[in-house]
Chains A and B, each alone.
Chain A
Amino acid sequence: MTKFLADISEFLPILLQGLWLTIVVTVGSLLLSTALGMVWALMRVCRVRWLQRLSALIVNGIRGIPIIVQLFYIYFVMPELGVTLTALQAAIIGLGIAYSAYQAENFRAGIEAIDRGQIEASESLGMGWALMIRRVVLPQAIKIILPPYGNIMIMMLKDSSQASTITVAELTLKGQLIASSTFKYTSVLSMVAVLYLVMSVPLILFVRWLERRMGEARR
């Protein structure tokens, strides 16, 4: 036990550096995926047929390719096309794009759950599509969207570890490096697991709180 405590004091500072990068990757790709996901979702529910099709194509394309392959592609193939990114940039963009498909499906489900009568009331007031989405649809859809959105956040936090595959020295990669050079797999990987848990649990509680609150609001 004292050995384990000694390991903690020795490795924790290094792991915390990795943890910081984990947060940067998670938050960065969360913002990007939210923005892109909203674009795909709005394209999907708009009234222009070819935009709907394009959105479906993009979302299904992204969903059908493993995240790790998308990361490799952006980090290793894009330079050949003249776009060179740092590992961190590639990780944020790759995870952001990969997750935009799930965000889009969540947003679309929320938007499509809005009662048809709301659309008709907006139309009968003379609202155009964009105004209706902004003033009527999204403010109501957000209650439906938020709880699953919290779950996506938790998944993204954990999947940020995939950035390790393209050399981003986030928590998982740091842990792996320390463990393989010191052979202290048990204490190091336990610390890594606990650190992820420490970040996830508040999010999990937040999602539970959201679900309760939104459930009440809908009644």
Chain B
Amino acid sequence: MIELSDVHKSFSGVEVLKGITASVGRGEVVCIIGPSGSGKSTILRCINGLESYDSGAITVDGARVDRASPGIISIRTQIAMVFQRFNLFPHRTALENVIEGPIYVKGVKRAEAVPRAQELLARVGLKDKANAYPAELSGGQMQRVAIARALAMQPKAILFDEPTSSLDPELVGEVLAVMRRLAEDGMTMVVVTHEIRFAQEVADRVLCLDHGTILEEGPAKQVLTTPQHARTQEFLRRVLQPI
């Protein structure tokens, strides 16, 4: 459903994506791993048009992603995004964050959106935090609200941009648990992550990126346990045994 073919992208003369070709099928969970600055996040941001790309093509269900075209709004309502720093709206409660998109973007009636949002908050384990403001929540709780906000758009896929990287270690588990359940429910997910164990358990496929190219790609187990490329081996060794 998401296709990238030969995508190139430069930031002020520095090429960060050097011809990325990849695809994500419906119901598939794809994890993108790789060292910092390898272009992982940029791929996600290009898929829902937060960044433009210079050449190549990205399509979602056949529709071309073009940040500058009005069609981008329809693509964004189909592809939700969860950010590293949550990006909840601080002036709205958890519930209001979740109903914002359905009501104001999709035109769902409030009477319909609210019970659905409550359901979603219950699903991420935050039933009792519906009326809390983001400032009153922990990082893990904020990220779970952000996931509920993404789900409220009833997206075809969710992009996760390092969803646990700015969390305290003891809060990582609760967010990963929610994501694991989503994967089990058949949600299409693209996850940029450093959580190798999560990738091993949940991902169908893993892409390993380095310097803007796909170093290695394949079934999660294969890439993560018996990597072919020396640089993938080196990266995994550093992530799994940092000391």
Q: How far is the CA of A135 from the CA of B88 in the complex (A)?
A: 13
**A126 and B91 contact, Cβ closer than 8 Å, known pairs A117-B85, A131-B105:** no
Verify B83–A140 contact, CB threshold 8 A: no
Q: Which of A26-78 contact B (CB under 8 A)?
A: none
Verify B87–A127 contact, CB threshold 8 A: no
Instruction: Give the nearest-CB partner of A136 in chain B.
Output: B89
With an 8 A cutoff between CB atoms, is A120 at the interface?
A: yes
Report which residue of A115, A123, A124 has the largest number of chain B beta carbons within 10 angstroms of its beta carbon.
Answer: A124
Number of A-B contacts defined by CB within 8 Å: 55
Verify B76–A126 contact, CB threshold 8 A: yes
Q: Which of B75-127 contact A (CB under 8 A)?
A: 76-77, 80-81, 83, 85-91, 100-101, 104-106
Contacting residue for B87 out of A117, A128, A135, A139, CB 8 A: A117
Instruction: Give the nearest-CB partner of A47 in chain B.
Output: B68
With an 8 A cutoff between CB atoms, is A199 at the interface?
A: no
With an 8 A cutoff between CB atoms, is A125 at the interface?
A: yes
Verify B87–A118 contact, CB threshold 8 A: yes
Q: Shortest beta-carbon distance, A202 to chain B, in Å?
A: 28
Number of B interface residues, CB 8 Å?
24
With an 8 A cutoff between CB atoms, is A197 at the interface?
A: no
With an 8 A cutoff between CB atoms, is B193 at the interface?
A: no
With an 8 A cutoff between CB atoms, is B63 at the interface?
A: no
Q: How far is the CA of A127 from the CA of B149 in the complex (A)?
A: 14
With an 8 A cutoff between CB atoms, is B137 at the interface?
A: no
Residues of A within 8 A of B106 (CB): 126
**A126 and B87 contact, Cβ closer than 8 Å, known pairs A131-B104, A131-B105, A135-B100:** no
Residues of B within 8 A of A127 (CB): 73, 101, 104-105
Verify A126–B74 contact, CB threshold 8 A: yes
* Complex interface bits, A90-126 against B, C-beta within 8 A gives 1, otherwise 0: 0000000000000000000000000101101101111
Q: How far is the CA of A131 from the CA of B81 in the complex (A)?
A: 18
User: Chain A binding site: helix, strand, loop or mixed by DSSP?
Assistant: helix
Contacting residue for B81 out of A118, A124, A139, CB 8 A: A124
Verify B73–A128 contact, CB threshold 8 A: yes
Q: How far is the CA of A135 from the CA of B101 in the complex (A)?
A: 10
With an 8 A cutoff between CB atoms, is B240 at the interface?
A: no
Residues of B within 8 A of A125 (CB): 76-77, 80, 100-101, 105, 149, 153
Residues of B within 8 A of A117 (CB): 83, 85-87
Q: Shortest beta-carbon distance, B109 to chain A, in Å?
A: 17
With an 8 A cutoff between CB atoms, is B48 at the interface?
A: yes
Q: Which of B50-85 contact A (CB under 8 A)?
A: 50, 73-74, 76-77, 80-81, 83, 85
Instruction: Give the nearest-CB partner of A116 in chain B.
Output: B87
Contacting residue for A126 out of B73, B90, B149, CB 8 A: B73
Q: Shortest beta-carbon distance, B129 to chain A, in Å?
A: 19
Residues of A within 8 A of B149 (CB): 125
Verify B153–A121 contact, CB threshold 8 A: no
Residues of B within 8 A of A139 (CB): 91
* Complex interface bits, A133-172 against B, C-beta within 8 A gives 1, otherwise 0: 0011001100000000000000000000000000000000
Residues of A within 8 A of B76 (CB): 123-126
7 cross-chain pairs, A with B, having the tightest CB-CB distances, nearest first: A121-B87, A126-B77, A124-B81, A117-B87, A125-B101, A126-B76, A126-B105
Q: Which residues of A approach B to under 8 Å, CB–CB? A: 115, 117-118, 120-121, 123-128, 131, 135-136, 139-140
Can you add 14 more A-B contacts, CB < 8 Å, to A118-B89, A125-B77?
A: A115-B87, A117-B83, A120-B83, A121-B83, A121-B87, A124-B50, A124-B80, A124-B81, A125-B76, A126-B77, A126-B105, A126-B153, A127-B105, A140-B91
